[in-house]
Structure 1
Amino acid sequence: MEEALELREYLPQSFANASERVYLDFLWSAFQTNYTAERYEFASLAFHLLYMSFVSFSVWQIRLACPDQFAMAMVGFRSEEEGRLKDCDSPFKFYDRLKESQIFRFLKLIGCTNQQVGEFAKFVKSRNKIAHPTGTVFFNDKAAIDAEITKMMKEVRNIEAHMQPVIHELYRRFLTDRADDELWQFSTPGDELAANLVHANYMSATDLVFCQTFDVDSLDAEPGIHAMRSLHDALVSLCPPELDEAA
């Protein structure tokens, strides 16, 4: 269970609407309740949905940071499918437009190979087996589900490692868009970070650690560097949980 709970560090701290948080909380409750009750088959289904939620949030951030490349990655989709993908207003809406396995193709935009994409997507096949009546219980002991969780968390960490350039790009844009502190939406750096970095970009605790490693000196030649440094200093000084929930 402990390794599974690590996934919280990779999921957003703030959501676009309350229903998204309620949904994630429901999945965590379903996972933990069934795991504790040794109903491992149902616990695995809940954890898989948490895993796929993580993937959808990552793809959403890729779309935000790399809109042109994202559009190019849709080559091969029918025009109406492209339009529906562009119009998605929530990471969860991707699954209304795509087969689950298709969403992983967008991870190639962050340098993942076809082999890696296959590793990420293989859990969909195993989930489909247990989501249909087969007469077989695939996860009937703690060792079996723990082994599956270990495999899934390995892929979560792999995806997140590839996401660092995307997170840095989102953070760079956040800083440069706020070079004039007179135009900030909020008067304090912490509130500005919470609302327009964390909340607006579905940032996780791990994403914020990436942001803290951003080389702010690279913006020295930009106008408004003092305002940008004040935001960065605030981010570095705050623990990620303190930036929770702007909405």
Structure 2
Amino acid sequence: MDAALEIHDYLPLAYPSASEGEYIRFVWDSFESNYASGKYQFAVLAFHMLYMSYVYFSVWQIKGASPEAFTHAVLFQQKEKELLTASSPFTFSEVNERGIFKFLRLAGCENQHIGQFQKLVDQRNEIAHPNGNIFFSDQSTADQRIEEVMQQIRAIQSHMTPVLHRCLLQFVRNSANPDEREIEDVAVHVEMNFLHKHYLSRKDIEACLVCDLGDFEQSPFRAEVHALMQALTARLDE
């Protein structure tokens, strides 16, 4: 169970809508209760749902950071319209699960990485149907699968830093001038227009904080840029 807690570092700190946060908490509670009661197969299924949610959040960040490249990647795919007009990461659930991983190529993941990510979907499919088999009947096998999932999440996250830096630089450019912001309060602005917009996790924020902002050092809004970054840093202490 302790190993599974790591996934929270990769899931958003805050959500644009209460229902999205409630959904993630519901899935985690389902995992936790099934794990605690020894129903490991159902616990693994719930953990896989958290894993796919993480993947959707990552693809959403790619979409926001590189909209033109994302649009080109979507062309001629099934569910093209749903992908292009997605209103939240959860819209990606309408796309074939194996197919959604292909968009991670835009973050630098290669075919061998994509194949490894897709294997977890194939393995999940084996246990999600009434085939008479209990694949996870003890804590040891469940913990092994949880670690396999976390390895894949760490692997995806390792490719996301350039994506997150593009999101941050775009945000700072659009936010440096306080007279052009709709929200005056810096902390609220960061929350609503950066964390919520990109579904940022603790790991995402840590990656953003090492972004080179040297181009803003000569900006007349340098102090505002520093204030934005301080507000972002403060979210890690909450």
TM-score (norm 1): 0.91
User: Are 1:240 and 2:199 matched, yes or no?
Assistant: no
What do the CA deviations read for 1:136-174 (whole angstroms, capped 9, x no partner)?
100001110111111110110110110111111111111
- Once the two structures are superposed, the pairs formed by residues 130-169 of structure 1 within 5 Å of their partners are 130-169=127-166
User: Are 1:229 and 2:226 matched, yes or no?
Assistant: yes
* Secondary structure at 1:177 match in 2: helix
Matched with 2:82 is 84
8 Å CA contact retained: 1:205, 1:241: no
Q: For 1:239 and 1:233, locate their aligned partners in 2 and report how far apart those are by CA, in whole Å.
A: 9
* Secondary structure at 1:200 match in 2: helix
User: Structure 1 stretches (4+) deviating beyond 6 angstroms?
Assistant: none
8 Å CA contact retained: 1:12, 1:204: yes
Matched to 1:213, the amino acid is V
8 Å CA contact retained: 2:117, 2:152: yes
User: Are 1:197 and 2:194 matched, yes or no?
Assistant: yes
- Once the two structures are superposed, the pairs formed by residues 41-120 of structure 1 within 5 Å of their partners are 41-77=41-77, 81-96=79-94, 98-120=95-117
Q: For 1:95 and 1:2, locate their aligned partners in 2 and report how far apart those are by CA, in whole Å.
A: 28
How many residue pairs match? The answer is 238
* Secondary structure at 1:27 match in 2: helix
Q: For 1:241 and 1:20, locate their aligned partners in 2 and report how far apart those are by CA, in whole Å.
A: 23
8 Å CA contact retained: 1:179, 1:223: no
Report deviation, 1:20.
1.0
* Secondary structure at 1:112 match in 2: coil
Matched with 1:245 is none
Matched to 1:67, the amino acid is P
TM-score (norm 2): 0.95
Matched to 1:130, the amino acid is I
* Secondary structure at 2:175 match in 1: coil
What do the CA deviations read for 1:68-99 (whole angstroms, capped 9, x no partner)?
11011124415xx3222111111111121x11
Report deviation, 1:14.
1.5
What do the CA deviations read for 1:159-199 (whole angstroms, capped 9, x no partner)?
01101111111111111111211233333322221121111
User: Are 1:220 and 2:217 matched, yes or no?
Assistant: yes
User: Are 1:206 and 2:203 matched, yes or no?
Assistant: yes
Q: 1:93 to 1:69 in 2, by over 3 A?
A: same
Q: For 1:62 and 1:191, locate their aligned partners in 2 and report how far apart those are by CA, in whole Å.
A: 24
Matched to 2:14, the amino acid is S
8 Å CA contact retained: 2:10, 2:202: yes
Matched to 2:141, the amino acid is A
Matched with 1:36 is 36
What do the CA deviations read for 1:51-72 (whole angstroms, capped 9, x no partner)?
0000001001100110011011
Matched to 2:121, the amino acid is V
- Once the two structures are superposed, the pairs formed by residues 12-31 of structure 1 within 5 Å of their partners are 12-31=12-31
Q: For 1:24 and 1:71, locate their aligned partners in 2 and report how far apart those are by CA, in whole Å.
A: 28
Gaps of 5+ in 1: 243-247
Q: For 2:178 and 2:236, locate their aligned partners in 1 and report how far apart those are by CA, in whole Å.
A: 22
Same amino acid, percent of matched pairs: 39
